[in-house]
Amino acid sequence: DSGVTQTPKHLITATGQRVTLRCSPRSGDLSVYWYQQSLDQGLQFLIQYYNGEERAKGNILERFSAQQFPDLHSELNLSSLELGDSALYFCASSAGQGARGEQFFGPGTRLTVL
């Protein structure tokens, strides 16, 4: 158990809909990262937040957005969903801004868009 929690575990929705994925980092960790894992693209970095502020952006679509709240939990919002958005979404956390490279991953949310 990494100490990172993600909800829900599974999410099934229809194209065009909007969903919110939630992540609680390990106690004391200030950085939260979101990754997407699809069959054809592998594990891809989406976005990082550090203590409430956006730190780095990867291949995140404009239809996707994220935020980190004062209690350090984070939410990833996916809107106008398409079939290709079906994937595993992982959240990770680290103590600092991530320089050491040790990120602790949650169990993921499996999103299925029908």
Partner 1 sequence: DAKTTQPTSMDCAEGRAANLPCNHSTISGNEYVYWYRQIHSQGPQYIIHGLKNNETNEMASLIITEDRKSSTLILPHATLRDTAVYYCIVRYPGAGSYQLTFGKGTKLSVIP
Closest approach, Cβ 28 to partner 1, in A, equals: 17
33 binds partner 1 (CB under 8 A): yes
39 binds partner 1 (CB under 8 A): no
Q: How far apart are CA 53 and CA 98, in angstroms?
A: 14
Q: Does residue 104 contact residue 32 with C-beta atoms inside 8 Å?
A: no
Q: List Cα–Cα distances, 81 to 61, 86, 91, 105, in angstroms.
A: 11, 9, 19, 24
DSSP annotation of 48 reads E
Closest approach, Cβ 55 to partner 1, in A, equals: 7
| Token representation of residue 55 | 């730190």
38 binds partner 1 (CB under 8 A): no
Closest approach, Cβ 16 to partner 1, in A, equals: 26
Binding site for partner 1 (CB under 8 A): 2, 4, 31, 33, 35, 42-45, 48, 55-56, 58, 88, 90, 92, 94, 97-108, 110
